[in-house]
Amino acid sequence: MIEIKNLSKSFDSLIVLDKVNFCIDEGNLVVVLGPSGTGKSVLLKSMLGLLPVDDGEVFFDGKSIQAAREREVYEIRKQVGFVFQGTALFDSMNVAENISLPLREHTAMSSKEIMERVCHLLEVVGMAGKAGQYPESLSGGMKRLVAMARALALKPKYLFYDEPTTGLDPIMTDKVVDLMKDLKSRYANSGIVVTHDLQTARAVGDQIYMLKRGRINKLTKIEKELYD
């Protein structure tokens, strides 16, 4: 379970998060909706301690990441698979090398074990046989799938998605959404999805919140209809 308590973050006079409170229960995917520039990426980075916050805390299974020592922060982050906005794949590495990066950094697995895991992950995301390709030869949607495979490499308890379907055509959007649902039921991952896309929010969200002017509110049924 992840609890976000009174999280606040400003950049000079710009208030991005203003006492944000919500919870991610076990097995739930929470969606935070908001237009561009509202602070969705700042929220995700703040939750992982990648950005220092001004106030508030984020508790992972009762442990505050803000109060944690460096070593504990590192242990918490290992439980989180992060699908970054725009994928953040390394262009100089092929698909297999990109996916195996966290395994090489954080585990003592042999090259053979790593390759087996990479092949398995590629199958899970529907990209079997693409291990040797370089990111530049992949479509935006395919890159997103590879980024998802990389996020899964360390068998995370939680998944964080930053704009997973932005910029994708409807077919690829459906594919990514189906995979997100599939991963959740297969591994019972909990997590958070930030997006400005209501269709994606509706398709994957167990709870939907709206981030607006630093404040977060649960989207009611009526608001969901109005948003259409």
**Interface residues toward Mg ion, by CB under 5 A:** 40-41, 85
Asked if 207 interacts with ligand ATP (CB under 6 A), we say: no
Asked if 40 interacts with ligand ATP (CB under 6 A), we say: yes
Residue 67 interacting entry, from Mg ion, ligand ATP, none, C-beta within 5 to 8 Å by type: none
Q: Are residues 69 and 129 in contact, defined by beta-carbon separation less than 8 angstroms?
A: no
Structure tokens at 200: 């994606």
CB closer to ligand ATP, 39 vs 205: 39
Residue 128 interacting entry, from Mg ion, ligand ATP, none, C-beta within 5 to 8 Å by type: none
CA 59 to chain centre: 17
Asked if 36 interacts with ligand ATP (CB under 6 A), we say: yes
Cα–Cα distances (Å) from 116 to 122, 186, 210, in that order, read 10, 19, 40
Residue 38 interacting entry, from Mg ion, ligand ATP, none, C-beta within 5 to 8 Å by type: ligand ATP
Sole residue written with tokens 């649902």 = 181
Asked if 85 interacts with ligand ATP (CB under 6 A), we say: yes
Beta strands 158-162 and 190-195: pairing type?
parallel
Choosing from 2, 16, 31, 183, the residue that interacts with ligand ATP (CB under 6 A) is 16
Cβ density class 119-135: b for 16+ within 10 Å, e for less:
eebbebbebeebbeeeb
Size of the site for ligand ATP (CB under 6 A): 14
Asked if 199 interacts with ligand ATP (CB under 6 A), we say: no
Q: Are residues 183 and 159 in contact, defined by beta-carbon separation less than 8 angstroms?
A: yes
Asked if 39 interacts with ligand ATP (CB under 6 A), we say: yes
Least Å from the CB of residue 179 to Mg ion: 20
Contacts for 152 with CB less than 8 Å, ≥ 6 apart: 81, 121, 124, 125, 159, 183, 187
Amino acid at 83: V
Residue 8 interacting entry, from Mg ion, ligand ATP, none, C-beta within 5 to 8 Å by type: none
Contacts for 171 with CB less than 8 Å, ≥ 6 apart: none
Asked if 63 interacts with ligand ATP (CB under 6 A), we say: no
Residue 37 interacting entry, from ligand ATP, Mg ion, none, C-beta within 5 to 8 Å by type: ligand ATP
Asked if 19 interacts with ligand ATP (CB under 6 A), we say: no
Asked if 42 interacts with ligand ATP (CB under 6 A), we say: yes
Least Å from the CB of residue 40 to Mg ion: 5
Contacts for 1 with CB less than 8 Å, ≥ 6 apart: 23, 24, 25, 26, 59, 61, 62, 190
Residues that bind ligand ATP (CB under 6 A): 11, 14, 16, 34, 36-42, 85, 163, 196
